[in-house]
Chain A
Amino acid sequence: MSDKTLKFTLNGEPMEIAVSPSDMLVDVLRDRLELIGTKKGCGKGECGACTVIMDGEAVNSCLVPAMKAMGATVETIEGIGSPEKFHPVQETFMDLGAIQCGFCTPGMIMSSKALLDKTTSPTSKEIKKVLAGNICRCTGYVKIEEAVLAAAEKMREKQ
């Protein structure tokens, strides 16, 4: 195994870390950088719990070789808000009860944020399309969809 130096922008900060060509992005984030907000569910791109935003697009970090982040901009759940200042979609997920066990939530929020970065007037259909790859086994998706719509409204008000 020959390690490579991976340089990328992580949550707005430059990052440099030695990785193996076999490493997956989700494992580097969780096990090496201790950003355990990104969850590893199925490890096969089926559940969406590991969703992060890479160069503006939501991707399954369990199917992204860490090397693919070379030179890229990566956002994780840790980078989009803080307990002092949450992202609007984090606030609305809490306010509207769009959470039960919470395991799917970081992925749901990252998929939603990637959409809201592109449009603050998403349709119900668009929300369903981008969240179809994020599986929640506790509940339905109604409150989650409502939370994304409410976050969009908050973001429009701020504009």
Chain B
Amino acid sequence: MLQDYLFPETIDEAISFLKSSTGQARIIAGGTDLLLDIPDGKVKTGSLIDITRIPELRKITMENGVICIGAAVTHNQVANSELIQEKAAALAHAASCVGSYQIRNSGTVIGNVCNAQPAADTAVALVALGAMAEIAADGGKEYVAVEKMYAGVGKSTIDSASQLVTMVRFPAAQKNQGTAFVRLEQRKALALPMLNVAAWVSLEDDRFQWARISMAPVGPGPVRALSAEQILKGAEVKADIIEKAAQAALEQANPRNSALRGSREYRTSVLPVLVRRALEQAVANARCKCN
């Protein structure tokens, strides 16, 4: 049973509530995951500190080519943001795939990351985009790559009883760059991803300068397809090279047999197809901006 429910008005106030509660309180944003975990006993806490009314956490901004999304920004706000659609299409698409419309109106992108499900759609996109999270705690602020925020399956490195992820930031896609997100699912709505892949490519004429590819659930959290990225670096934008990279993505993938998400065998066969599609779409997005 909860004892208290607090609405701090600033980040500092939220941190001071966490400190004075000495581990007996935790952060809540949308609450769409947390409020299932509390009654189930998976999370025990005395009080909730609701950060959704802190004005600076409610914003999506871009400054000097860096996009910043606050911890109170919902999936639908990200999915419907023209800035995100244009400069980080992979994230806009990923945010539009989470849960249902109602869930996306409450649940936040940063909450999706902190809940640390292996295939959290927005985390997959943010890892491809090279996003960094700003983490505030009593000792000050620190910056951690979203890629490093998974401590295990369903386990975040963030301790919401002492830390607050205030925002994520990542570079906006430039004119010669494109991003894309693809997802395999059993139904078109309210379905867990069987696999999801995000890609960010940077082109120079008909070559890849580089590519970043993230895929899930093929490990505890989103996994970088490093072998594929290596093949693409400096390579020509050609179907056979993209195919070779897509196959190489399997080198970092370790999908499990899952009753919810499909067999290891099936998902191993399908993953290269998704990687290829993500790369093709990211290339198309980059080229459509150049024209």
Contacts and interface: CB of A to CB of B under 8 A. Distances in A.
B3 interface: yes
B106 A65 contact: no
A38 to B, nearest CB: 13
B189 A132 contact: yes
B50 A67 contact: yes
B108 to A, nearest CB: 13
B210 interface: no
A1 interface: yes
A58 B102 CA distance: 5
A45 B99 contact: yes
A157 to B, nearest CB: 26
Interface stretch (B28-36, B122-130, B177-185, B218-226): B28-36
B100 A133 contact: yes
Contact of A58 (B7, B35, B105): B105
A20 B36 CA distance: 17
A45 B5 contact: no
A51 B188 CA distance: 20
A60 B3 contact: no
A20 B3 CA distance: 8
Contact of B106 (A24, A59, A70): A59
B259 interface: no
B144 interface: no
Interface in B102-150: 102-103, 105-106
B77 to A, nearest CB: 10
Interface in B40-79: 47-48, 50, 52, 76
B3 A129 contact: no
A117 to B, nearest CB: 13
A63 B31 contact: yes
B35 A63 contact: yes
B39 to A, nearest CB: 9
A21 B45 CA distance: 12
A106 interface: no
Contacts of A58: 101-102, 105
A136 to B, nearest CB: 13
Given A21-B3, A46-B190, A65 B35 contact: yes
A24 B28 CA distance: 14
Instruction: Determine the interface band of chain B, counting residues with CB < 8 A from chain A.
Output: 20 to 34
A24 B36 CA distance: 11
B102 A60 contact: yes
A57 B31 CA distance: 16
B2 interface: yes
Given A20-B1, A21-B5, A130 B101 contact: yes
Contacts of A121: none
Contact of A44 (B2, B3, B36, B105): B36
A65 B102 contact: no
Interface in A3-26: 4, 20-22, 24
B7 A21 contact: no
B48 A65 contact: yes
Nearest to B36: A44
A58 B103 CA distance: 9
A132 B28 CA distance: 25
Given A21-B47, A65-B35, A133-B100, A60 B2 contact: no
Interface in A122-143: 128-134
Contact of B102 (A20, A24, A59): A59
B4 interface: yes
Given A4-B5, A22-B2, A63 B106 contact: yes
Interface of B: 1-5, 7, 28, 31-32, 35-36, 47-48, 50, 52, 76, 99-103, 105-106, 188-190
- Which 5 pairs of residues, A with B, have the shortest CB-CB distance? A133-B100, A132-B189, A21-B5, A21-B2, A67-B5
